[in-house]
Structure 1
Amino acid sequence: MSERGATFGEVFAVREFKVLFGSFALLVAGDSVKMLALSVLVYAQTGSPGLSAAAYMAGWLPYIAGGVFLLSLADRLPPRALMIAGELVRAVTCLLLAYAGLPVWAMIGLVLVTGVFSPVFGAARTALLPDVLPGDAFVLGRSLMGVTSAAAQVTGLAVGGAFLAAVGPDGALAATAGLSLVAAVLLRRGLPRRPARSAGAGSRGAVGQTLRVNGRLLADRRVRGLLLASWLPTACVAGAEAMVVPYLGGQGRAGLVLAMAAVGMAVGEFTVGRFAPPALRERLSLPLAVLLGLPWLAFAAGPGLAGAAALAGVATAGLAYQLGLQRRFVDAVPEEVRGQAFGLLSAGLMSGQAAGAALVGVLGELAGPGPAIAVAGGLGVVVALALAGVLRPERPAPVKEEALPNHGE
């Protein structure tokens, strides 16, 4: 492995990456606006905060079903076609939500059903990155995607709130559909057609193939360790973040803390991805994973708004630990199921974060938000240390010295 890291100039010189990067930014910002608009639309019809919150979360829940049953499609179908299909499904969904006059149960059901395929579309995009960006450029590309995700979510929510006030939820949903159509055109014109990564397993259907390959991936000790190292620490930090609103007693004050958490994530991903050489990046995985949980312990002392924001920003900078796992994950999974492997990684992240938020929420009801946040941080530290064997970089195999031929004999 070369000690020299890739540069932004080298990454953005690749035309296909610029297309993937631009369409991804449109996707994240559009999804943030879509779920916010749907939540407002449901609240306007029902006046129920609970249904409004359920509508906001509906876009994330299908990741579990899609990740368990459909991920093999990411390898069995051409990636460009899959990504374009994802954008078209998103556009149609937004237009139906805006103008079809659906009852609340049908709107939430539509988002749940169409969202089942989201992990497949996302897996096709991620699996294409190592083909477009070989070597260390792939890790920097993933870093840029992480920074973009944090920035687009914050921007999408901030601009989305103002946009909703100006045009209403129907107009915001229509604009989101427009963003999806732009992304579809960008993908169609900017990416060459690539064949499917794998033709499938003969007569096996997508569900059977997905279950078989998921089992195969989880049975591999190396792959399983990398998956758990990606899932568990982030589940703990998600649980801590879920308690920020009740800890500060309102969405307005909590918004500053959550925004600082997004900033910390972006700064950490950018700094480690760009300035740490590949070998150092992998050595940093363990200390950064510990950092991810450590600052939340201070919430046991009841910090105020400024302290809570600073602690959240420092903690989420530790999410850059995952960059040190990226190259190893690509190397560990078979190339013909890379799409499903990345889809499983993503689905586990989403499911783990939902489970972490739910479990820490229960603890918050029993012990209070501050202690619950501290416990979540402590669990994050314990989990990181327990996974130290995976988080530490692998030692290269010793090179056997071979006798050079003696041409003088």
Structure 2
Amino acid sequence: MTDRVTDTEATPPTTPPTPQGGPRRPPLRRSPAFRNFWLSRAVSGLGSAVTTVALPVLVFQQSRSPLLVSLVAAAGTLPYLAFGLIAGAVADRVDRRTLMIATDCLSALCLGSVPVAQALHALTVGHVVVVAFLCSGLSLFFDAGGYGFVPALVGKDRLPDANSVLYGAETVVRIIGNGIAGVLIALVHPVGTLTLDALSFAGSALFLRAVANSPARAARSGPRPGFRESVGEGLRFLAGHPTLRVMTVVGTLQSFSGGAIVGQLVVFADRVLGIHGSDGRIGLLYMAWSAGGIGGSLLLPRLRRRYDAFPLLLLVLPVGALLGLVVVLSTDWRIALFALAAWGTAYLVVLVNTMTYSQEVTPPELQGRVNTTRRMLSSGLGVPLGALVASGVTVSAGIRAGMATAVASITVAAIVVWVVRLRGLLPEPAAEA
């Protein structure tokens, strides 16, 4: 298959240049375009991390209803199921940079409507829930554009490094944002905190505008298919690519485990580790899981220089399952702390590895549709389903059994990749290209 792009989108190299041949490109940190994109994501991510805490607090202050607080959480995941296929098709039909700037600006307006409504004494819980839903949906469209934007920006040979930097920064700002959220809520009220997030989206849009010579949408010969056919085209590519199909299953199982872990960690800490109520050690457990993501972002580029994407799964998935078992069997919170950090490292390596592989093998004109579909299955289905199943198992069989659902999910993923490899069910890489 030949990748065709417009004259504004340079065709990224598919293999890294040898150290002896050709000019060496500067590292990503010296690329103004990538640096501006990275700053865009860091600024917006910091604001969103604060809002993740501020929105539920605001709803609870106004309603005192746990059900409505749960609706805010649901509003953050429903768009993946509702609009995942649509977002991918839109991203592959328009200029990706323009789409991302537009979604940032609309997100700023949505969040900015909350303090305006508060000032007019017209703010309602329904308004806040709708804002949460719209912002999550806009974030989905932004990500759909980014899936094709990043490979064209840095080249496919540097995707492991670029994705690791982006995911690592996302993890760092999430930790920082969650940590300062309580202070900001106390100083400027949850509504004021949302104002800061609105400003962060505006700042993100400005950084994106500074990305010079940005990749445009991928061109294609012949007439453009209808919207429904466009969606089907992406689905057929995903279903027809054997390795990518297996990796999609693995990514969904991995996300299932993440939903189970995060959803039951408070209960596990209380009933098994003896960390009750407002004990500050619960924060350390969450930080350990997130900090593991930083370790994974640093480790992935080194691993991808030694292993191809699929063989890397053969190694990391069993390690992740063993680390998860250590957490489940722990009775000392310190052992659980370090095991969670290591588990988080393996978790992020798998997720970023599967995402990177998908971007490497997907043609430019299909990036949005293929990768948004994968995200729809993982974030839209895997995470909430993992949280729901783990909570049900905890109620019926105890917290260790509930946490063990995460380990079981990763174990199934490991079995899948090993069975596929041992039975030779995947074609050789050259045959897949």
Give me the TM-score of the superposition, normalised by structure 1.
Answer: 0.87
* Contact 1:226 1:325 (8 Å CA) reproduced: yes
Partner in structure 1 of residue 12 of structure 2: none
Partner in structure 2 of residue 285 of structure 1: 313
In structure 1, the residue corresponding to 2:401 is in which secondary structure?
Answer: helix
How far 1:95 sits from its partner (Å)?
Answer: 0.9
1:38 is aligned, of 27, 42, 55, to: 55
Q: Which moved more, 1:278-287 or 1:154-163?
A: 278-287
Q: Residues 241 and 169 of structure 1: is their aligned pair in 2 closer, same or farther, counting only changes over 3 Å?
A: closer
Is residue 82 of structure 1 aligned with residue 103 of structure 2?
Answer: no
Q: How does 1:174-213 map to 2 (within 5 A)?
A: 174-198=195-219, 202=224, 204-205=226-227, 209-213=230-234
Q: Residues 324 and 193 of structure 1: is their aligned pair in 2 closer, same or farther, counting only changes over 3 Å?
A: closer
How far 1:44 sits from its partner (Å)?
Answer: 1.0
Q: Which moved more, 1:219-228 or 1:33-42?
A: 219-228
Q: Which moved more, 1:289-298 or 1:306-315?
A: 289-298
How far 1:167 sits from its partner (Å)?
Answer: 0.7
Partner in structure 2 of residue 336 of structure 1: 365
Q: How does 1:149-188 map to 2 (within 5 A)?
A: 149-188=170-209
Q: Which moved more, 1:128-137 or 1:282-291?
A: 282-291
How far 1:23 sits from its partner (Å)?
Answer: 0.7
2:40 is aligned, of 10, 23, 42, to: 23
Q: C-alpha distance in 2, partners of 1:2/1:204?
A: 36
In structure 1, the residue corresponding to 2:217 is in which secondary structure?
Answer: coil
Give me the TM-score of the superposition, normalised by structure 2.
Answer: 0.83
Partner in structure 2 of residue 379 of structure 1: 409
Partner in structure 2 of residue 362 of structure 1: 392
Which 5+ residue runs of structure 1 have no aligned equivalent? 399-409
Q: How does 1:237-386 map to 2 (within 5 A)?
A: 237-249=258-270, 250=277, 252-273=280-301, 275-276=302-303, 278-280=305-307, 282=309, 283-319=311-347, 320-326=349-355, 328-351=357-380, 352-386=382-416
Residues 285-313 of structure 1 deviation map (CA, whole Å, 9 limit, x = unaligned):
22212222222223443423212211211
Look up the equivalent residue of 2:361 and give its one-letter code: A
Please tell me the root mean square deviation across aligned C-alpha atoms, in Å: 2.8
Q: Residues 175 and 325 of structure 1: is their aligned pair in 2 closer, same or farther, counting only changes over 3 Å?
A: closer
Residues 23-78 of structure 1 deviation map (CA, whole Å, 9 limit, x = unaligned):
11122221122232221111111112332243244223212212133320111110
Q: C-alpha distance in 1, partners of 2:170/2:365?
A: 27
Residues 261-303 of structure 1 deviation map (CA, whole Å, 9 limit, x = unaligned):
1111211221232x33523363332221222222222344342
Q: Residues 323 and 178 of structure 1: is their aligned pair in 2 closer, same or farther, counting only changes over 3 Å?
A: closer
Is residue 137 of structure 1 aligned with residue 158 of structure 2?
Answer: yes
Q: Which moved more, 1:298-307 or 1:130-139?
A: 298-307
* Contact 1:286 1:321 (8 Å CA) reproduced: no
Q: C-alpha distance in 2, partners of 1:179/1:2?
A: 35
Q: Which moved more, 1:178-187 or 1:368-377?
A: 368-377
Is residue 217 of structure 1 aligned with residue 246 of structure 2?
Answer: no
Q: Which moved more, 1:331-340 or 1:23-32?
A: 331-340
Q: C-alpha distance in 2, partners of 1:331/1:160?
A: 37
* Contact 2:44 2:203 (8 Å CA) reproduced: no
Q: Which moved more, 1:175-184 or 1:98-107?
A: 98-107
* Contact 1:11 1:17 (8 Å CA) reproduced: yes
In structure 1, the residue corresponding to 2:27 is in which secondary structure?
Answer: helix
Look up the equivalent residue of 2:369 and give its one-letter code: Q
Q: How does 1:87-106 map to 2 (within 5 A)?
A: 87-100=104-117, 101-106=122-127
In structure 2, the residue corresponding to 1:192 is in which secondary structure?
Answer: coil
Look up the equivalent residue of 1:209 and give its one-letter code: S
Q: C-alpha distance in 2, partners of 1:29/1:292?
A: 28
Is residue 227 of structure 1 aligned with residue 255 of structure 2?
Answer: no
How far 1:380 sits from its partner (Å)?
Answer: 1.2
* Contact 2:303 2:312 (8 Å CA) reproduced: no
Partner in structure 1 of residue 257 of structure 2: 236
Q: Residues 390 and 246 of structure 1: is their aligned pair in 2 closer, same or farther, counting only changes over 3 Å?
A: same
Q: C-alpha distance in 2, partners of 1:391/1:118?
A: 36
Q: C-alpha distance in 1, partners of 2:78/2:177?
A: 20
Q: C-alpha distance in 2, partners of 1:117/1:211?
A: 22
Q: C-alpha distance in 2, partners of 1:349/1:128?
A: 21
* Contact 2:160 2:300 (8 Å CA) reproduced: no
Look up the equivalent residue of 2:362 and give its one-letter code: V
Q: Which moved more, 1:88-97 or 1:224-233?
A: 224-233
Which 5+ residue runs of structure 2 have no aligned equivalent? 1-14, 271-276
How far 1:83 sits from its partner (Å)?
Answer: 0.8
Q: C-alpha distance in 2, partners of 1:271/1:159?
A: 27
Look up the equivalent residue of 2:378 and give its one-letter code: L
Look up the equivalent residue of 2:239 and give its one-letter code: L
* Contact 2:46 2:174 (8 Å CA) reproduced: yes
* Contact 1:35 1:59 (8 Å CA) reproduced: no
Q: Residues 218 and 198 of structure 1: is their aligned pair in 2 closer, same or farther, counting only changes over 3 Å?
A: farther
How far 1:329 sits from its partner (Å)?
Answer: 2.1
Identity %: 21
Partner in structure 1 of residue 83 of structure 2: 66
Q: Residues 243 and 212 of structure 1: is their aligned pair in 2 closer, same or farther, counting only changes over 3 Å?
A: same
Q: How many residue pairs are counted as aligned between the two chains? A: 395
Partner in structure 2 of residue 401 of structure 1: none
How far 1:174 sits from its partner (Å)?
Answer: 0.8
Q: C-alpha distance in 2, partners of 1:133/1:193?
A: 11
How far 1:363 sits from its partner (Å)?
Answer: 0.8
Residues 131-163 of structure 1 deviation map (CA, whole Å, 9 limit, x = unaligned):
111143111000111111111111111112211
